[in-house]
Amino acid sequence: MADSHFHEILITKNGHQLLVLDPKVYELANNDTLTAFEEYITAEYRASLLQHMESADGEWFMAVFVNEPDRHYLMQVLPVPDQPDKLHMSLIEAEGMIGDYQNMLFTQGSQKALLSLFEDMFFEYRPDNDSIRLFNAEKSHFKDGSHSFDEIADHLRSQITEDNEMALNTLIRHMKDKTPSFQVTFSQNLLNEDPAISDTMFRGIVAHHDSKRESIVGSVHPIRRRGTGAVDNLTYDPLTGLVNKLDITRLATDRVDNRCIINTTLAVVDIDYFKNVNDSHGHQFGDVVLKEVAAIMKSEVGDDGVCGRIGGDEFLLIFNNNVNEEILRSHLRNIKSLVKDKFPDKGPRGEAPITLSMGTATYPDHATNYNDLFMIADYCLYMAKEKGRNRYVLYTPEKHPTIEEIRTSKTEGENLVNGRDNLPLGDVLVQMLFMIRFEKRPSLMSLLPEFAERFKIPLLMLVTEDPDRILLTTGPQTAEGAHIANELDMLLDPAMCYTHLYKYDMVVCNNIIHLPAELRPKYSQRLQDADIHSFVVAPFEDVHGRKASLIFLSLHQNLVWNESHYMYYKLFLDALSTYDLAKYINT
């Protein structure tokens, strides 16, 4: 607590006039030593003050000065030993005390973060009550909080080897004798089971708080064998201020592969549609987004981990082993929400917020080395994109593929279109068209599933007419759409083309309640029975003039088809018209 917020005065027991003055209190009393002290306190608090003056019981109470009505003071009244005609009063400015406390918490957080970089445990020994308080002990056998000196000494005594007994006796002597500064090294790891730590160094120094109070503060520092040390001298990305790709990777690798710190979690973070942001608002604004996103992540993660930038709009967060799933989810949820709130209308087409997708994996529950752990977190990021972006996915072995399955999918490259699926849909389509026109033409069996996946189409069917038959079906609702083969005559009815549903050379229905009045008696109930809620029928002809249609369906719930995608649908139909559908009729 800062001295400027603490004041002490003496007053007469009878009359309550000021005797020994504090400059601040003297100012609040209008430089008057004759008027009773309670007259300078607001009426609301005066009775309480008089009660405590009468009892002088040492209890703290609140009061407000007439001359400073917007500030509160904590007060205490005590008798003065050997001077029964006087009272001693202590006054603390409450707002100042709160500010000091907040600054103290901030400083403690900064110190703890700094210590975590070096893995040190911090201690404070108070000789007055023979207690030791430990900080940053999560990575050790010890626990944060207050302990008796004997408890810590006994624990160390039970851990040390015979050749370290002298070192322990020396450490105890230094602390009990309050040696001004000292350093004692044990030739063994006294913190945890990390095999890379060969020695443990205790360093301490006496801290004088005032004329009556002193303590011994210091750190317990693990010393690593040569070649296994934790990463220091970090290099930072000049744009975002986060740890750069090389060093954040080294940090993560060191924690997982070298130090084997259990419960280390990696989170891979990607800004959704970031290319669109650059294209729509310019690269300077894109840099602003990167810096703001980095600042939000760094502030939110705080002492619980380290943030780094590993690509243009991709980041890697390393969460410490004291971060459980509840805390992890809270951090990710807050980061996601803060970014949305910061950029509410700078996302796709300038109508939506900028969002993040995130994936996580934890050592050793999900993988036993850094490469596999990153691969799984990266896969979860991909899943977050697949599920619609603006979300995080925590790897769950019961729900997600195994490591081998993920590795195989990475090796085989399931997607035709290169790059993560935050590519703008226009770019996706351009790559598809380029492959069809100028590279090895992909099979419709691989092309259609990727089109449905990229455009988030629940059920996509390629059908031919005369006779009506389904050539290909894809999408997450494929298994539920087997019965649609019986509804093709309805969906392909030419009468649909002569209603308000026909636009851009396609039949588009976002909700079957909007079915034209002339078609309701014939098809309304039938659509309901088939559980078809929304559909698009897009006709085209193949390279030999065979009539066909691409049918988009949503079962179980309504889906408003994105009107800005209609031009992409048309371009895709144009690409399909270069195929010979006869090759797929009997496949």
Give the separation between CA 88 and CA 570, rounded to whole angstroms: 88
Q: How far is CA 259 from CA 118, 159, 227, in A?
A: 13, 21, 12
- Strands of 145-148's sheet in order across: 145-148, 131-135, 121-126, 214-224, 197-208, 181-186
Tokens of residue 535, six digits:
């559909």
DSSP assignment of 471-504: EEEESTTTGGGGGGGGGHHHHT-GGGGGSTTEET
Give the separation between CA 159 and CA 220, rounded to whole angstroms: 15
Domain with CATH 3.30.450.80 in the chain: 425-585
Digit-by-digit pLDDT tens for the chain (587 residues) are 344 678 888 999 999 998 877 888 888 888 888 889 999 999 999 999 999 999 999 998 999 999 888 888 999 999 998 899 999 999 988 887 777 777 777 766 666 666 555 567 888 999 988 999 987 776 677 888 889 999 999 999 999 998 889 989 999 999 999 888 888 889 888 888 777 678 888 999 988 766 677 889 988 888 766 444 444 557 888 899 999 988 899 889 888 887 778 889 999 999 988 887 887 788 898 899 999 999 999 999 988 889 999 988 999 999 988 789 999 999 999 999 999 999 887 765 556 788 999 999 999 999 989 989 999 999 899 888 777 788 999 999 888 888 887 776 554 444 555 544 456 777 778 878 877 876 667 778 778 888 988 888 999 999 988 666 888 888 888 877 888 888 888 998 888 888 888 888 899 999 998 888 889 999 999 999 999 999 999 999 999 899 999 999 999 888 888 888 888 899 899 889 998 888 776 54
Query: Which CATH number does 425-585 carry?
Result: 3.30.450.80
Predicted pLDDT at 202: 92
- The residues that bridge with 121 in the sheet, in sequence order, are 220
Residue 547 burial (CB count, 10 A): 15
Give the separation between CA 504 and CA 502, rounded to whole angstroms: 7
Give the separation between CA 341 and CA 570, rounded to whole angstroms: 35
Predicted pLDDT at 231: 45
Residue 276, CB half-sphere, CA atoms under 13 Å: how many? 22
Beta strand extents in 54-194 (DSSP E only):
61-63, 73-80, 83-93, 121-126, 131-135, 145-148, 181-186
Residue with tokens 């629940």, as numbered in its chain: 458
Give the separation between CA 188 and CA 194, rounded to whole angstroms: 11
Specify the 3-state DSSP secondary structure of 20.
Answer: strand
- The residues that bridge with 89 in the sheet, in sequence order, are 9, 77
Domain with CATH 3.30.450.20 in the chain: 3-96, 119-224
Give the separation between CA 43 and CA 61, rounded to whole angstroms: 15
Q: What is the pTM of this model?
A: 0.41
Q: Among residues 245, 234, 353, which one has the least CA distance to residue 292?
A: 353
Domain with CATH 3.30.70.270 in the chain: 245-412
* H-helix or E-strand spanning residue 427: helix 425-438
Domain at 3-96, CATH class: alpha beta
Predicted pLDDT at 51: 93
**CATH T-level topology, domain 119-224:** Beta-Lactamase (3.30.450)
Predicted pLDDT at 327: 92
Q: Quick one: CA torsion of 428, 433, 438, 444, rounded to 10 degrees?
A: 100
Q: Judge whether 139 and 193 are in contact, CB under 8 Å.
A: no
CA geometry: angle 421, 424, 427, nearest 5 deg: 100
Report the phi/psi class of residue 306: left, alpha or beta, with left for phi > 0 and alpha for psi in -120 to 50: beta
Predicted pLDDT at 293: 95
Tokens of residue 571, six digits:
């371009």
In this structure, which CATH number among 3.30.70.270, 1.10.1740.10, 3.40.190.10, 3.30.70.20 belongs to the domain 245-412?
3.30.70.270
Give the separation between CA 76 and CA 94, rounded to whole angstroms: 13
CA geometry: angle 231, 294, 276, nearest 5 deg: 130
